Structure 1
Amino acid sequence: MQPSYPHWETVPTRWKDNDVYGHMNNAVHYSIMDTVINTWLIREGGLDIHDGDTIGLCVESRCNYHAATAFPESLAVGLRVGKLGGSSVRYEVGIHRQDRETVVAEGHFVHVFVDRETRRPRPISGRLRDSLAALLVEPG
Structure 2
Amino acid sequence: MSDLLAILYPWNKAIHIMAVITWMAGIFYLPRLFVYHAEQAVVGDAKDEVFRIMEYKLLRYIMNPSMIVVWVFGLALVFTPGIVDWSMVWPWAKTVSILGMTWFHMWLAGRRKDFAKGQNQLDGRRYRMMNELPTILMIVIVLSVVIKF
The normalised TM-score by structure 2 is 0.24
Higher strand share: 1
State the structure with bigger RCO (CA 8 A, min sep 6), 1 or 2.
2
Higher helix share: 2
